[in-house]
Amino acid sequence: MAYEITIPSVGESINSATIATWHKKDGEGVKAGDQLVTFDTDKVSQDLEAEREGILHIVAAEGEEVAIGAVIATIEEGQVADSTGSDDGQKAAPAEASADSDANAGSEDDESVRATPVARKMAEEKGLDLGTVEGSGAGGRITKSDVIAATGDEASSSADSKPALSVVDDAKAESPSRSAEETVARTTRKKMTPLRRKIAASLVSAQQNAALLTTFNEVDMSAVMDLRKRLQDSFVAKNGMKLGFMSFFVKAVVEALKSVPGINARIDGDDVITNHFFDIGVAVGTEKGLMVPVLRDCDTKTFAEIEQDIANYAKKAREGKMQLDDLQGGVFTISNGGIYGSMLSTPILNPPQSGILGMHNIMERPMAVNGQVVIRPMMYLALSYDHRIVDGKEAVTFLIRVKECIEDPTRLLVGA
């Protein structure tokens, strides 16, 4: 009996997913609980585990975009001795025999051969029998590259690669000695991941649909750095983690939002919705793109609780286990470009929020203090905001409040 593996629903607004990585091979034996596949949506990455024991048959190859609910593989249920699907060689034989029969059938009927739609169309145009082509894709699926290799025609392509051909032709005209193969190798083309497409759409939407403006200030980090140095050992001994800069800025932002509630609001049609809670998003860069997990109820949490939340989200991001609920509901975002060495930037809003604070690297600079020039560790701060709802006076007041809390962190303890 074949058990179907489908893409589960991960949110009302998500309609499709892209197969990122198969952790098991086509025809391989799997056991209940084995990690099978990682798929990406425009919000999060998610893993699927096997719910049955048997032989895995992959339907959707890596890189394919499939609809929510689509069947991406099946498991032929049965006993599996180990993760390779073999039991002293007895279990693997049926799968091998099946593969042989599929190949033989493919010689007679191309429709029974597993191939991508583009590869099938190209083969039809070239009069190529797909049954004679060895596939290099997942589970032996025949790809466009396999068809090109089989026909020996590197210049052939389907409609989706025509722009690349024009580039090759132009390059040949400019440099006759360079072959088309060498020119093609100078570039690669791949589809954007759902997450990257979502990030791109959100950033463009923010710039098109909001009146973006950025206000700057600078903050002396001496007091926070001295406090961290003095309390770090005891903080680690008590909480099992280091006291970072981000918890100070999260707490400072909460105080600033309390002082300027207009920034803790958003526009919804002709209405202004003011939030009376303080869920702060912290931008996290990952290999797959920018994610903004949300720290809940930061006004009621201690520094240690905030640091623990940040550490948990960082681990989830590294392991690709961020959930949709982790990314929803923030009222304000903090982005720390300083960890990458950024000196100054103008961050873009995270819709539908009305404000985002950009932190930058700490640089020692000469500053005038009490009539004397002294060297201080300084950081530039940038507040980008929606000018439709936030006035310049409110933005400046917000930044000054953040500056006050960082330069005198005792204010965070007493709310002064």
Contacts of 312 (CB under 8 A, 6+ apart): none
Catalytic choice (23, 34, 279, 387): 387
Rounded Cα–Cα distance for residues 267 and 229 (Å): 42
| Cross-sheet strand order for the sheet of 54-58 | 2-6, 71-77, 54-58, 29-30
The Cα-based distances of 210 to 256, 328, 341, 357, 386 in angstroms read: 22, 20, 28, 16, 6
Residue 377: Cβ within 10 Å count: 15
Catalytic choice (34, 87, 299, 391): 391
23 is annotated as an active-site residue: no
What is the 8-class DSSP label of residue 115?
B
Backbone dihedral region for residue 251 (phi beyond 0: left; psi -120 to 50: alpha; all else: beta): alpha
Helix runs in 267-391, H state only: 303-319
Contacts of 359 (CB under 8 A, 6+ apart): 245, 249, 334, 335, 336, 337, 338, 379, 381
CB contact at 8 A, 19 and 33: no
Instruction: Tell me the two tokens of residue 138.
Output: 């997942």
Question: Closest Cα partner for 62 from 175, 193, 234, 221?
Answer: 193
Rounded Cα–Cα distance for residues 415 and 409 (Å): 10
Question: Closest Cα partner for 75 from 180, 152, 165, 2?
Answer: 2
Write down the residue that tokens 């990314």 correspond to.
Answer: 327
Residues, the chain: 416
360 is annotated as an active-site residue: no
Q: Which residues pair with 66 in a beta bridge?
A: 17
Provide the annotated active-site residues: 387, 391
